[in-house]
Each structure stands twice: as structure tokens, then as C-alpha cells.
Amino acid sequence: MNKRNSSPRFLWSCLAVGCLTGSVDGADSLTIGEALKKADAWYQSTEGRQALSNVLSHQSVRGDWPKNTRTAAAPSTNTAAHIQGTFDNGATTGELRLLARAFRLTRNQAYRDAFMRGLDHIIGAQYANGGWPQYAPPPPNSYHRHITFNDGTMQRLLELLRDVARDPGFGFVDSRRRESAATAFERGVGCILKCQVVVSGRKTVWCAQHDEVTLQPRSARTYELESLSGSESAGLLLFLMSEAKPSPAMIEAVEAGVRWFESSKLTGLREVRVDGDKRMIPDSEAPPLWARFYEIGTNRPFYCGRDGIKKFNLSEIESERRNGYAWHGGWGDTVQQRFAVWQREHKSR
């Protein structure tokens, strides 16, 4: 098993978007996450070579890959010109990590060439302010153009760029590209710090997406309104805490974000399912929960259906959205556990 690609940081990112889920019964159901967990010999096997060929066939002309597609399981039925690639839902970064490992083990130039196209696309897609759209080039009048923290999109890009710039395993990348990756990484971290929402003079956390020009919180789909996001903010804090030598600005951002999580936890409530329907019930012994969305200014948890109308009770939105979205989670627990260790590693100012 490749130890670098099984690091807690990388596996957390994969689990956040489900790239490690799915059957492991056969090559026809293989996910990128499963392929990355294969032994080195697999990459030289007939099955491995076919899976990698499949991955290559799904790369778009721009250099990225489609989401919600098992790109290692079967060859693409589309031409490269008709593939819509994205950075969302773990797409592209997972394929690039797989191809990087494949090239290290096989020295097959096709894998390196595809990796370079994908890396160049990521670096070229970055906004001057350091953020990334959900895919590039983004449509001008869609939320996809916004800086995308949703589902860990931007942090996965930054983790890959950091590895390209610093990890000896990416030594096959030429020095010019490694320097560009390092620069893009630094700009991206700066963008995260600038996007941290300030309320009444205090830094809080982040929205799932921010305006690509003003950096202000922005809505996405009709049920994803401007907010402080418990889920995405947890991922961003974990990313900032993963940096070995955080700057004073990064330390300040982490400490402010952790304070927000402590002040925003929901206690005495448990999310349950009754006959398949989500409900919130009182329970004094329930562990703390955090909401997906908090209203900016009041910090009240809110919920929203496809009508786009904000509600403050989960039961008030339609069943389809109530049961088809992650409205609560233990995200703050993960943040607080990591912070306890991080504090010892990096003394607060």
C-alpha cells in the first residue's frame, strides 16, 4: 500500500466526498480511491493497466476529469472534447494522484503527460486572488464561477499543489511547474484567510462559496444560501492546521475558527430517522452537533428547501430536501480534537 497516499490528510479528503466508497468486488466498480490503495504490483498488472487506460480516456481536452464518474472502472464513451471536467466531488485531484503514482512505478510517459496537462489546468484555472471556480473555464452567470470551498474542493487542490511543490514523490515534475505549484499554494492560502467572514469585528468561519471578485459569501443552489458553513469551515480549519509552519495569520484564523465552533455547537438535540424521515428530538445525552448552515449575523442554524426560503426548523422544509442533504454533523468534534494536538505543536501567540 502506498503510504503517502494513505495519509490521514489525504484519506480525510477522500472520505469527505466519497471517493473511497463503493464495491471492491471487481474492476468494473473500481473507484479512484480503491485504485490508490492497490499494491505496487497492481499497476503493472493487466487489470491495473486497463484501469489506468480507462482513466486516461476520461481526461478532457482541458486536462480535467468529470465528477460522479468511476473513471477507473470503464473507458469513456465520450470524446475528450465533449467531457465536462471539474474540481468538484474529488474529481481531477484523485485522478492526478493516481497517475503520479502510476508514473513513479511504471515510467509510462502517457501517465506523466496526462498528469502535466491536469496540473497545468489547475494552475491556469486559479484566479489572481488565489481562489478557484468549481470548474474552468466557469460560466459567467452561474454559481460555479464562485470560489469553491464546497465539499472540500479548494483544499484538495491546495493539498495536491503542496505535495507537488514539496514532496519528493513528485520529483518527476519539472522545476518550473513545482515553483508554479508553490506560488499557487501560497496564493490559495492567502485567499482562504481573506475570505474568513468577519461579523461585528470578529473573525468567524467561511461560506461554502465566496464571490470571485469581492470575496463575500455567496449562494449556490437554491437551498444553499449565503451562510457560515459548519461542514466546509471544518475542512478549511483542518487544512490550515495541516500546514507544518503556519504563519501568524494562519494561527489567528485557526484560533478564531475554533472559537466559533465552540460557540456554535448544538447541544441537547439528536438527529434521528423515524420511518425514514429525519427528525430532531430532545436528548440531554446526545453528543454536540453542528449545523451545515448558520445565518450570518445572528448565527442561527437554518434550513432551506428547493423554494429557496430560509427556515429555522428542519421539519419545515420538504421531505426530499430534509432527507436528501447533510444538515447536521459532528464536524466540530474533528476540529476540536485536531486543535488540541495542534496547540501543543504550535504555541498560540
Q: Which residues are catalytic?
A: 89, 221
- Alpha-carbon dihedral sign for residues 246, 252, 257, 263: positive
Beta strands in the chain (DSSP E): 147-148, 198-199, 202-203, 209-210, 228-229, 269-274, 277-282, 290-291, 293-294, 303-304, 310-311, 328-329
In the three-class reduction of DSSP (H, G, I as helix; E, B as strand; rest coil), residue 43 is classed as helix
Helix residue ranges, H only, 167-228: 175-195
All three cell numbers of 273, joined, read 430517522
Contacts of 222 (CB under 8 A, 6+ apart): 304, 306, 307, 308
Contacts of 77 (CB under 8 A, 6+ apart): none
Contacts of 202 (CB under 8 A, 6+ apart): 256
CB atoms within 10 A of CB 212: 19
Supply the Cα-derived Rg of the chain in whole angstroms. Answer: 20
Contacts of 84 (CB under 8 A, 6+ apart): 60, 66, 135
Give CA–CA dist 141/172, Å, rounded: 39
Residue type, 300: R
